Amino acid sequence: MKIFLASVIVLTSFAASAQTAGDSAQVAIETLKKKVARLRVEVSLKSDSLNSAIKDLEVAESKQLISKYSGGSSGSFIGAVVRRESKLFKQNDLFSEVIELIKEGEVVRLLDYKVSYWLIAKGNTTGFLDEWSILENDEIKGYKAAIKKSNHDEIVNAELTKITVSRKENDAAEAEGERIWKQAQKEVVDRNKKIIAKYGKSLGQKLVDGYYWIGMSAEMAKVSLGEPEAINKSVGSWGVHEQWVYDGIYLYIEKGKVVSYQNSN
């Protein structure tokens, strides 16, 4: 009987614990659902705010374009009639985003000309219409010619600017190269003077000219030929024998002096 009661108590306790765990999990889920719902609202609000800002930006950019080209070729906007229903593109590109359809017979304002497309204004909206959609008259033809010439002049001026900048950069590079070369020459002259001052005119000049001979010291060999590319050592009863490796030259050093050499050239 005691065993049975104990079992019942254990099962009851386990069931209560499981119920508590289940309740906690449900609470956590509900909390997360509320959080997700709140974040969705925030994202939606921010998305609406972003879209509104984008529209404001587009309007501002359109107004800026209209203001920029407000002079036209005769001191005012040039009006033009749309000869057929046409798509108003965001860019001067057939595959660009379509802003809206412009109906046949509508009057738009011409702002600029960009390779087979007119930049036009309709109210506060700006975009590109292909040139065949515009009914041209003599004034529009003259306006287009003036813009083409202006654009051509801008391209020429831009190329001339590039050439000028390139020349300046080349001149600067040449000047820097000249400075580095002169500095290197000065360093060589200063080094040679120090060598001659230390070893005397006759011996020093030989070292400056890169000569090497049997009996010269290891220090003099480094002054004449520089640091060796590699040093191979042999150790025996006679002492230490070193082979100094240069480009095509091998000096053999014993007791700090050149005892022989080999020239592969």
Give the model's confidence band at 159: pLDDT under 50 very low, under 70 low, under 90 confident, else very high: low
- List residues bridging with 231 in a β-sheet: 244
The lowest-confidence range among 163-172, 202-211, 220-229 is: 163-172
User: Tokens standing for 125?
Assistant: 């909206």
pLDDT value at position 112? 86
The lowest-confidence range among 85-94, 157-166, 187-196 is: 157-166
pLDDT value at position 157? 64
Q: How far is CA 84 from CA 102, 103, 109, in A?
A: 8, 7, 16
Per DSSP, the three-state class of 111 is: strand
User: Tokens standing for 101?
Assistant: 């359809």
Question: Quick check: 164 pLDDT over 70?
Answer: yes
Per DSSP, the three-state class of 137 is: coil
CA distance 59 to 82: 22
| Percent of the chain predicted with pLDDT > 90 | 27
pLDDT value at position 8? 44
Give 8-51 pLDDT, tens digit per residue. 444 445 444 545 555 677 777 777 777 888 888 778 777 777 77
Sign (positive or negative) of CA dihedral 137, 141, 146, 147 = positive
Q: Reading across the β-sheet that carries 134-135, which strands appear in turn? A: 98-102, 86-89, 125-130, 117-122, 107-113, 78-82, 134-135
- Map tokens 């309007």 to a residue: 59
CA distance 122 to 79: 10
Give 73-89 pLDDT, tens digit per residue. 444 568 888 988 989 99
pLDDT value at position 174? 84
Q: What is the mean pLDDT of the chain?
A: 79
CA distance 46 to 50: 6
Compute the C-alpha angle 249/251/257, nearest 5°.
Answer: 150
Instruction: Please give the DSSP secondary-structure letter assigned to residue 97.
Output: P
